[in-house]
């Protein structure tokens, strides 16, 4: 189309990512409706890490669809085991293509300096726990994440929610650096300061850190929910911060959420305040944990409040894989 021909490379990549995230969401909905998730545990003896047919098929769809159009870029997905799908997605979002891109981004050309980080299904545990498509409170925690980095820095991303609360309708939230966030209404401020954190790991040190935030007036309550994508949507919609004080979170969990949050004026770093790096050869683990804050709070207040003991337990390992 004419719009596609006029658009810069990054506009095409973001537009294609938006569209394929929606197709992946439809695929996930279809697999849940069939009722056989085909759950396997890819974790260790101590860590349950479920993977479903939806993860495997959605990853194949996203990676193959993007790689077919953009052969020079790096794409890193969470799943090693994938399931082939017959029809790839070659469409793109007109909403993205119609936007003029800032010159620092429109000059970027297709190359290996572009890394797309894909979590085809963030919140697998929640998907596996939802008995059917009526459990919207659980299913809203499932997201499709596509984050785009250039020379190690995040430039754009998509969080697609196959089921949003309360209607169960899908929604796609996307952002480009300098172009703001689209598809969501960002909360201006909130009297309550809700901290969202993970359900899975509650160590004594983490609980102590959460208490310290409360003592300093930086937290009025803690909500434990699944999925990094969903937690950042919560921060955009009125929660104050998302604290993940363990090393279990990966680059594909944070790439898209960071793009969306920072385009809205929020901030995402590790718990010591270091920027996350997204180049292709970097280790996959966010070994320093994650702190994400809403546009209306002060990120450094939260960094300062987190105890040194906790920060020292999550060093930044530069080890390249």
Residues in the annotated binding site: 78, 119, 121-122, 253
CA atoms 73, 78, 84, 87: torsion sign: negative
Please pick, among 26, 90, 124, 281, the residue that the annotation labels catalytic: 124
Residue list, annotated binding site for Mg(2+): 78, 119, 121-122, 253
- Give catalytic status of residue 26 as yes or no: no
End-to-end CA distance of the chain: 41
- Give catalytic status of residue 124 as yes or no: yes
In Å, what is the CA distance from 139 to each residue of 58, 92, 125, 198, 239?
16, 26, 10, 16, 19
Please pick, among 36, 41, 46, 55, the residue that the annotation labels catalytic: 55
84, 60 in Cβ contact below 8 A? yes
In Å, what is the CA distance from 170 to each residue of 23, 125, 166, 217?
11, 19, 11, 35
15, 7 in Cβ contact below 8 A? yes
- The rounded distance, in Å, linking the Cα atoms of 311 and 94 is 43
- The rounded distance, in Å, linking the Cα atoms of 93 and 19 is 6
Catalytic residue positions, numbered = 55, 124
């Amino acid at each position: 189309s004419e719009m596609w021909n006029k658009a810069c490379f990054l506009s095409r990549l973001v537009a294609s990512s938006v569209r394929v995230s929606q197709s992946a969401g439809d695929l996930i909905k279809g697999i849940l409706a069939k009722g056989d998730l085909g759950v396997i545990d890819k974790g260790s003896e101590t860590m349950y890490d479920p993977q479903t047919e939806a993860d495997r098929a959605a990853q194949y769809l996203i990676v193959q669809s993007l790689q077919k159009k953009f052969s020079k870029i790096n794409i890193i997905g969470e799943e090693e085991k994938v399931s082939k799908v017959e029809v790839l997605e070659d469409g793109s979002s007109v909403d993205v293509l119609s936007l003029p891109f800032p010159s620092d981004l429109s000059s970027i050309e297709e190359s290996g300096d572009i890394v797309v980080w894909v979590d085809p299904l963030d919140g697998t545990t929640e998907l596996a726990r939802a008995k059917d498509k009526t459990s919207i409170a659980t299913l809203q925690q499932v997201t499709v994440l596509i984050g785009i980095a250039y020379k190690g820095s995040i430039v754009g991303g998509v969080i697609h929610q196959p089921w949003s609360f309360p209607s169960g309708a899908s929604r796609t939230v996307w952002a480009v650096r300098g172009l703001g966030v689209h598809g969501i209404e960002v909360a201006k401020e909130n009297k309550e300061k809700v901290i969202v954190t993970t359900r899975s790991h509650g160590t004594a040190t983490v609980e102590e850190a959460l208490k310290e935030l409360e003592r300093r007036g930086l937290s009025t309550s803690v909500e434990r929910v699944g999925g990094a994508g969903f937690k950042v949507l919560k921060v955009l919609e009125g929660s104050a911060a998302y604290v993940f004080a363990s090393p279990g979170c990966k680059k594909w969990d944070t790439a898209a959420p960071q793009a969306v949050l920072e385009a809205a004026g929020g901030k995402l770093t590790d718990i010591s305040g270091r920027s996350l790096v997204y180049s292709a050869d970097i280790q996959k683990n966010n070994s320093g944990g994650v702190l994400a804050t809403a546009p209306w709070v002060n990120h450094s207040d939260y960094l300062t409040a987190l105890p040194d003991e906790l920060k020292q337990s999550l060093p930044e390992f530069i080890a390249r894989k």
